């Protein structure tokens, strides 16, 4: 009976040890699972934090680029408005030159007949006077009238040539002035185009500088990230060692 009790006690002790061992294994498994889960959470947290930092840098860069683009858009708009005003001023200036030329030519056209009439009277008087001075008994009144008639005809032709010359001169003046006005417009357009081109070049340059600064910032951030990842890895490793 004593042996039976001893055997029963031994069986009980063995069963108890198995239960305790099994319990320890289960606890160890649970602890390991918890540790693994904790490590996963820590890794996920670190990864999310790094991703957030990088996204913040990207967003900051995009915001700066957009601000720069908006700034240059406004500058272009203001420049175009200024160019419109300059062009309007140039067109008004050209129009004023043309109007002044037209007025001047109109006055010259109005004055010419008066001048011609006055000159014609003077020249005719001088011609008649010269006829009287050089007249001889052989010259009949009819011949004298014929000479006066010829002189008057020549004067008429001369006046007509003067009018044609004036007309041609006016046409040439107006053509030259129109060419000058067109040249003024072209020069202004060229100058304005150069200003627009310079502004676009400057914007492109500034955007390039921003991109280069951003690339350098990302590069430096990634270089600093390496030791941070190493520290995070060591902390995780230390936590594993403790368990």
Average pLDDT of the residues in 175-186: 97
- The torsion angle over the Cα atoms of residues 6, 10, 13 and 18, rounded to 10 degrees, is -160
Average pLDDT of the residues in 203-230: 90
Residue pLDDT, tens place only, 65-123:
999 999 999 999 999 999 999 999 999 999 999 999 999 999 999 999 999 999 999 99
| pLDDT over 80 at 173, yes or no | yes
Mean pLDDT for all residues in the chain: 89
- Structural domain tally of the chain? 1
> Of the segments 32-36, 54-58, 141-145, which one has the largest average pLDDT value?
54-58
Q: What are the tokens at 219?
A: 């590069």
- Quote the domain boundaries for residue 35: 2-242
Average pLDDT of the residues in 176-183: 96
Q: What is the spatial distance between Cα 220 and Cα 212, in angstroms, rounded to a whole number?
A: 12
Distances (CA, A) of 148 to 36, 124, 132, 156, 159: 133, 8, 12, 12, 16
Q: Which residue has the higher pLDDT, 160 or 238?
A: 160
């Amino acid at each position: 009976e004593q042996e039976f009790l001893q055997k029963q006690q031994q069986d009980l002790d063995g069963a108890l040890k198995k239960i305790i061992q099994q319990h320890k294994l289960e606890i160890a498994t649970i602890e390991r699972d918890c540790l693994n889960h904790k490590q996963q959470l820590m890794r996920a947290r670190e990864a999310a934090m790094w991703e957030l930092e990088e996204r913040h840098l990207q967003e900051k860069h995009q915001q700066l680029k957009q601000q720069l683009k908006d700034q240059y858009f406004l500058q272009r708009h203001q420049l175009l408005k200024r160019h419109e005003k300059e062009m309007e001023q140039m067109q008004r200036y050209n129009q004023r030159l043309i109007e002044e030329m037209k007025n001047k030519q109109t006055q010259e056209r109005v004055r010419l007949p008066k001048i011609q009439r006055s000159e014609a009277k003077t020249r005719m008087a001088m011609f008649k006077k010269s006829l009287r001075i050089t007249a001889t008994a052989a010259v009949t009144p009819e011949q004298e009238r014929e000479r006066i008639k010829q002189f008057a005809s020549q004067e008429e032709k001369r006046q007509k040539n003067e009018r044609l010359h004036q007309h041609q001169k006016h046409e040439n003046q107006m053509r030259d002035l129109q060419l000058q006005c067109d040249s003024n417009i072209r020069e202004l357009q060229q100058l304005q185009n150069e200003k627009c081109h310079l502004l676009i070049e400057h914007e492109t340059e500034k955007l390039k500088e921003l991109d280069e600064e951003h690339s350098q910032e990302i590069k430096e951030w990634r270089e600093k990230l390496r030791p941070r990842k190493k520290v995070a890895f060591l902390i995780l490793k230390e936590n594993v060692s403790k368990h």
